[in-house]
Chain A
Amino acid sequence: MGLDDEQAAVATDAIKQLALDSGATVVGIAAAGAFNEYVPEGHRPTDFLPGAQSVVVAGSLGPSNAAWQSPNRRLMEITGYDFRENVASLVVAEHIETAHGYQAIQAPALPTSGQHPPMSMMLAAVLSGLGTRSIAANIILNPTYGLLYYAAAITTMPLVPDHQLEDNVCPARSCVKMYEMEGKTPCMAVCPADEGGCIDATIEGGEISSSYFNRERCSTRAMNFGIRGHIKQVELLTAADDIEEAKAVLHSDDFRRNLAAIGRYKESVAQCFECMRVCPVGRYRRNLK
């Protein structure tokens, strides 16, 4: 027998609280069917869990506020985050199966083909009302916290979905003002596409009217160390004509750093935060005593 509206509301609140208690900074719920309008078959919750009804989305903060303050930018390169949203989504999935008897899985979010993840956590965050797309690398900005990392649990349990945000978080008012005066926002100014950067956009009537994001260029900066950096170095090793040249690459601190980034991935999930460093959304929350 299914849940009535009141039971579903009570269960929804309890599951959200559980996600927060498990480390999520924010939590929202999307109806599984809401994805169908935006993504093709193969990328919808029901493609991964037949009969899926709901998607519980957990978001958590990345670098600590102190890390944002550090004058040593290399510290941010390896101070990623602690995957608390993943923990929260796993706890939620396990709880739904054991306490409610519905099926639940963690949503697959790591790319398995090209740069596309099987299921988009960005879309999940938008549909569950946790944020909206921004000019800055399309990052989903939460109105309170700005940059967050997202994970989700897909379940056959019918939960009460949240509404999408009514207002776009980006551009912030101060960014609109800057754009009107200078033709660019803080993120466009710090990483302009027409000057070797990744970001460009136009704003009309206080809303994004067009945006451009050079993902390939961004990924070589944001993911400089780690799997891609290591692949690049293996390519250098195999292509080197001179064995001494190859050994110089092999024994460089950069080579070690790439491998360390693979081994300790959570400490090195991104190596460029500059567009987010200047973003005003949630910035006041990074100021502590």
Chain B
Amino acid sequence: MTDVEPDWQMVKSEVLSGALKRGAAVARVGDPDALAAIAAPGQAPVDLLPQVRSIIVLGGSAPRAGEWHSPRPEVMETVGTADRMAALGSAVARRIEDELGYYALNVPTATDQDDKPFLDFTAAAVISGAGSPSLAGPVLHPEHGFLYFTVILTSLPLPADEPLDAPACPAPSCVEMYDERGLTPCTDVCNIDDGGCLGGQIQEGLVIGRRYDSNRCRSRVYHYWIPGYQAVLDRVLSEPDAERRKMMLYGSYFTRTMWSITYSNVSQGQCFECMRVCPVGAEQRALR
């Protein structure tokens, strides 16, 4: 008896629809060779899983409409939901291994040596068509806008999706604004020439010459969290006065930054301002 070749399109459809049912907003498949061609040394899919034949990219778990509309920035600062995607990725990988008998590895969201990612999630999302790069930085899905992503490497030979035909950014309204003022909503709210993180130009409807101050952005997005913890200890080490050292250690800022580390799944980012003004996916954030 010979093994009958499975209908891989059907297998793909079942795996992806299962992920969508469990909470993903977007589920796509990418070609590992396409990612390898643009990956940094050591970050090709095959460097993590030699048997890899497909990349599954799941996106979802963005802040809810109510959170975007809260007048208190503390809500968005402490309510991130990225870990839901990581948990979903683990569950999908487990299902592929247990039920289909193929290797499946949910790529860790934590960083490898030198604070580098194990895999470029942005590039994985782009080559699979789960979104496109944006002037603001995050990968944007044309319908949902900003999403968190998880990436599963698998030996399942699934048919790969193509990258998006047209980028989600810049949106037509952003092009219009740029033509009028030389700024888009995101470069306006966080202008790199005015102490912010973002800059760039739009030419014939395409982003060119993007400028991004990643260090400045990181210090805002991760204001509380590991960098905040290091910043306080750095000052404590340099402070000669014992009472002031105690004030820093027992102060609310240090306490809060410890909370954000131990509850990191609810504190993924503390600045969403460039995404708050982004028109891509804005209709998803507008409810009654």
Contact = CB atoms under 8 A, between A and B. Distances in A.
B48 A75 contact: yes
A64 B87 contact: no
Contact of A253 (B51, B105, B113, B155): B113
A75 B93 CA distance: 15
Interface string A221-240: 00000000000000001000
A188 to B, nearest CB: 28
Contacts of A250: 230, 233-234, 237
Interface string B242-282: 00000000000000000001101100000000000000000
Q: Which of B110, B112, B226 has the most CB of A within 10 A?
A: B110
Contacts of A255: 230
Given A75-B118, A246-B237, A69 B110 contact: no
B110 A64 contact: no
Interface residues of A, number: 33
Interface residues of B, number: 43
A66 B106 CA distance: 9
A29 B203 CA distance: 68
B108 interface: yes
B49 interface: yes
B108 A267 contact: yes
A82 B49 contact: no
B47 A71 contact: yes
A288 interface: yes
A108 to B, nearest CB: 19
Contacts of A65: 97, 103
Contacts of B90: 64, 82
Given A72-B48, A263-B262, A288-B155, A237 B230 contact: no
29 contacts: A64-B90, A64-B94, A64-B97, A64-B104, A66-B49, A66-B104, A66-B105, A69-B51, A72-B112, A72-B118, A75-B48, A82-B87, A82-B94, A243-B237, A250-B230, A251-B230, A253-B114, A253-B115, A256-B111, A256-B115, A256-B226, A256-B230, A260-B110, A263-B225, A263-B264, A268-B110, A288-B102, A288-B103, A289-B103
Given A69-B50, A288-B103, 12 more contacts: A65-B97, A66-B93, A69-B49, A71-B50, A250-B230, A250-B233, A253-B111, A253-B114, A257-B111, A260-B111, A263-B261, A288-B102
Interface of A: 64-67, 69-72, 74-75, 78-79, 82, 237, 243, 246-247, 250-251, 253, 255-257, 259-264, 267-268, 288-289
